[in-house]
């Protein structure tokens, strides 16, 4: 998380518990990708916990570079593809699937470009103002278009989805991102993940709704 190693590891523990709940609510293999989001958040927070240790304790200095790149892999490369793919796997509406497939393609393009940047240009992490600041020597030509495409791939699918209450997830993520961008302009990547636990609880809530709906359909079919 954004405040300390203990906060990051604490968040990872909470997320691991939530991930057990989401995985238990998997009814079909198509649910796995959505249910796995809290577990990925857990690994992401754990990586930042080790990064905090490497930045504050010279005994862990060797972990600084690998943990920086592991965290950035989750934040910048994995999510733009994983989230739209996870929602596409849940979707049953053919019409909505077409729109979500387009957003998935956008996400894949964003991920590929971010991977190119992460491999081709140096990145480093520093502690500034009780937060981790990730600094990149990326070319600026992508600029705000990158943020817009990232947002399109990760947020818009939640509003398009036919899954009940999925829009709540999108609304919360949007509000969380706006608050973070306004209050912690230079620390968005790190501070935004503060909301990962609440996002994961919403995912559990949505999966339970899907499970209950499937059970009702199954019970009705038996009548």
Q: What is the model's pLDDT at position 152?
A: 92
Q: What is the model's pLDDT at position 89?
A: 96
Crossing angle for the helix pair 37-56 and 196-222, to the nearest 10 degrees = 160
Q: What is the model's pLDDT at position 113?
A: 92
Q: What is the model's pLDDT at position 139?
A: 74
Q: What is the model's pLDDT at position 129?
A: 75
Q: What is the model's pLDDT at position 179?
A: 81
Share of the chain above pLDDT 70, in %: 87
Q: What is the model's pLDDT at position 164?
A: 87
Q: What is the model's pLDDT at position 220?
A: 46
Q: What distance in Å separates the CA atoms of residue 82 and residue 154, rounded to the nearest whole number?
A: 9
Domain count for the chain, please give it.
Answer: 1
Domain containing 89 equals 5-222
Quote the longest CA-to-CA distance of the chain: 66
Residues of the chain with pLDDT under 50: 219-221, 223
Q: What is the model's pLDDT at position 103?
A: 97
Residue 150: closest CA among 82, 71, 222: 82
Q: What is the model's pLDDT at position 188?
A: 65
Q: What is the model's pLDDT at position 147?
A: 81
Q: What is the model's pLDDT at position 186?
A: 64
Instruction: Pull the structure tokens for residue 108.
Output: 């894949």
């Amino acid at each position: 998380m954004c405040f300390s190693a203990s906060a990051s590891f604490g968040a990872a523990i909470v997320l691991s518990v939530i991930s057990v709940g989401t995985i238990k609510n998997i009814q079909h293999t198509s649910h796995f990708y959505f249910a796995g989001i809290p577990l990925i958040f857990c690994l992401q927070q754990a990586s930042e916990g080790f990064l905090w240790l490497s930045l504050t304790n010279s005994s862990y200095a060797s972990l600084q570079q690998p943990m920086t790149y592991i965290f950035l892999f989750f934040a910048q490369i994995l999510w733009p593809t994983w989230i739209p793919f996870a929602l596409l796997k849940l979707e049953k509406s053919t019409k909505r699937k077409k729109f979500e497939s387009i957003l998935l393609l956008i996400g894949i393009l964003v991920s590929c470009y971010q991977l190119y940047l992460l491999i081709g240009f140096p990145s480093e992490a520093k502690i500034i103002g009780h937060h981790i600041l990730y600094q990149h020597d990326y070319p600026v030509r992508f600029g705000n278009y990158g943020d817009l495409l990232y947002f399109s791939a990760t947020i818009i699918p939640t509003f398009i989805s036919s899954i009940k209450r999925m829009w709540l997830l999108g609304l919360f993520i949007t509000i969380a991102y706006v608050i973070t961008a306004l209050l912690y302009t230079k620390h968005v990547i790190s501070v935004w993940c503060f909301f990962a636990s609440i996002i994961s609880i919403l995912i559990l809530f949505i999966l339970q709704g899907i499970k209950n709906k499937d059970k009702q359909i199954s019970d009705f079919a038996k009548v």
